[in-house]
């Protein structure tokens, strides 16, 4: 994904049911690459795909990932929900 974005190319990320895992991968990539908070990332994904439905377990994992990025100084932390 890094290489494709650097070359201004498109990337297709697909999961079997096209809902949860692909969105999780994209969200985690965006959070790290662009140093976005979880809230900003989810708002962006929802603007691109309004029917986005992510499992609570994946949201919990993304929240934990956001905390790890924040502790490493790689990204911001969501201040509000």
* pLDDT reading at 15 higher than 80: no
Whole-prediction pTM: 0.83
Long-range contacts of 71-74, Cβ-Cβ distance < 8 Å, separation of 24 or more: 74/32, 74/35
In angstroms, rounded to a whole number, what is the distance separating the alpha carbons of residues 23 and 45?
Answer: 8
The arithmetic mean of pLDDT across residues 53-79, rounded, is 90
In angstroms, rounded to a whole number, what is the distance separating the alpha carbons of residues 75 and 39?
Answer: 12
* pLDDT reading at 80 higher than 80: no
In angstroms, rounded to a whole number, what is the distance separating the alpha carbons of residues 41 and 26?
Answer: 9
In angstroms, rounded to a whole number, what is the distance separating the alpha carbons of residues 6 and 67?
Answer: 27
């Amino acid at each position: 994904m890094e290489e494709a974005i650097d070359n201004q190319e498109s990337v297709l990320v697909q999961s079997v049911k096209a809902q949860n895992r692909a969105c999780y991968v994209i969200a985690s990539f965006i959070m790290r690459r662009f140093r976005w908070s979880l809230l900003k990332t989810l708002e962006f994904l929802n603007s691109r795909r309004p029917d986005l439905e992510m499992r609570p377990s994946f949201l919990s994992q993304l929240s934990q990932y956001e905390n790890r990025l924040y502790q490493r100084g790689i990204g911001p932390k969501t201040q509000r929900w």
